[in-house]
């Protein structure tokens, strides 16, 4: 069986190459990596070249007539597009990965998915219901039973909040709790965990700010620390 790993890209071809290297090193299942490129249009040719060089299938998130400097579509729309593509591909297991999350130990995704039919980290919406964080979430085709996940946020939750209607309380009860912690990588500051930590999630390392969506001081210093961390994985 093959596990489909659909990466939502955003302009960091250096991270894409490292992600592919570490997936090849640590993911035990037969797998296929697909980049769904949600980069700004002027970054896409380089992203495509990198994907082709390292052996990743390349798809573009839908183009909606925006300028070359714009993000082509929203993050939820890119996730929903990837889910539709994965559904059509017919893989027994498939999932979504943020562009700055990396396996750091030997992992069988199939074994983790089989426990509950899905696999990922629960976050809590304002209405108290759990939903799947879309940066690391996987599904079995059998469990989905023809359903196609959607990931739009709403007034009660961030991106992924719509999955609170996909996963029932009984489903969550079958999923073992995922180990999660913040790992400090430099001195704490007032700019939040996106500045001075990374996330460690069930054998994965998540950089949290790989797209540089949030300003943090000493960004080059942070990037140097993260590059050393990647090199040692």
DSSP character at residue 177:
P
Q: Which pLDDT does position 72 carry in this prediction? A: 54
Report domain extents, the chain: 2-176
The stretch 152-180 carries a mean pLDDT of 90
| Residue 213 banded pLDDT, cuts 50, 70, 90 | confident
The stretch 210-231 carries a mean pLDDT of 90
Q: Which pLDDT does position 122 carry in this prediction? A: 95
Mean of all residue pLDDT scores within the chain: 92
C-alpha distances (whole Å) from 84 to each of 66, 90, 112, 163 are 22, 11, 22, 15
Which pTM does this prediction carry?
0.94
Q: Which pLDDT does position 91 carry in this prediction? A: 94
C-alpha distances (whole Å) from 194 to each of 70, 184, 203, 223 are 24, 10, 19, 12
Could you please state the CATH topology (level 3) that the domain comprising 2-176 is classified under.
Spore Coat Polysaccharide Biosynthesis Protein SpsA; Chain A (3.90.550)
| Interatomic CA distance for residues 172 and 130, integer angstroms | 8
**Spatial CB neighbours of 188, under 8 Å, sequence gap ≥ 6:** 196
Q: Which pLDDT does position 209 carry in this prediction? A: 85
pLDDT tens digits for 90-110? Answer: 999 999 999 999 999 999 999
Q: Is the pLDDT of residue 170 over 90?
A: yes
Contact 204, 105 (CB under 8 A): no
Contact 37, 47 (CB under 8 A): yes
Q: Is the pLDDT of residue 150 over 90?
A: yes
**Gyration radius of the chain's alpha carbons:** 17
pLDDT tens digits for 43-94? Answer: 999 999 999 999 999 999 987 654 444 555 688 889 999 999 999 999 999 9
| Interatomic CA distance for residues 233 and 230, integer angstroms | 5
Strand partners, 123: 131
C-alpha distances (whole Å) from 17 to each of 20, 46, 179 are 5, 12, 26
């Amino acid at each position: 069986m093959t596990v489909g790993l659909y990466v939502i890209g955003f302009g960091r071809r250096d991270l894409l190459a490292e992600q592919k290297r570490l997936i090849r090193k640590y993911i035990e299942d037969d797998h296929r990596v697909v980049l769904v490129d949600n980069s700004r249009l002027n970054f896409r040719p380089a992203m495509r070249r990198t994907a082709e060089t390292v052996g990743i299938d390349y798809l573009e998130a839908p183009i909606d007539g925006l300028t070359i400097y714009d993000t082509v579509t929203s993050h939820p729309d890119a996730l929903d597009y990837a889910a539709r593509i994965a559904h059509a591909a017919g893989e027994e297991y498939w999932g979504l990965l943020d562009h700055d999350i990396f396996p750091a130990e030997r992992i069988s995704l199939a074994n983790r998915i089989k426990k509950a039919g899905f696999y990922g980290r629960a976050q809590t919406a304002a209405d108290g219901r759990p939903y799947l964080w879309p940066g690391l979430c996987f599904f079995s085709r059998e469990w989905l039973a023809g359903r196609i996940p959607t990931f739009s946020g709403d007034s009660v939750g961030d991106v992924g909040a719509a999955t609170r209607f996909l996963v029932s309380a009984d489903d969550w009860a079958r999923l073992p709790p995922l180990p999660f912690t913040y790992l400090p990588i430099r001195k704490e500051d007032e700019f939040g965990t996106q500045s001075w930590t990374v996330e460690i999630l069930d054998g994965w390392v998540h950089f949290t700010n790989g797209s540089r969506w949030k300003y943090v001081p000493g960004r080059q210093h942070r990037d140097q620390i993260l590059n050393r961390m990647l090199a040692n994985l």
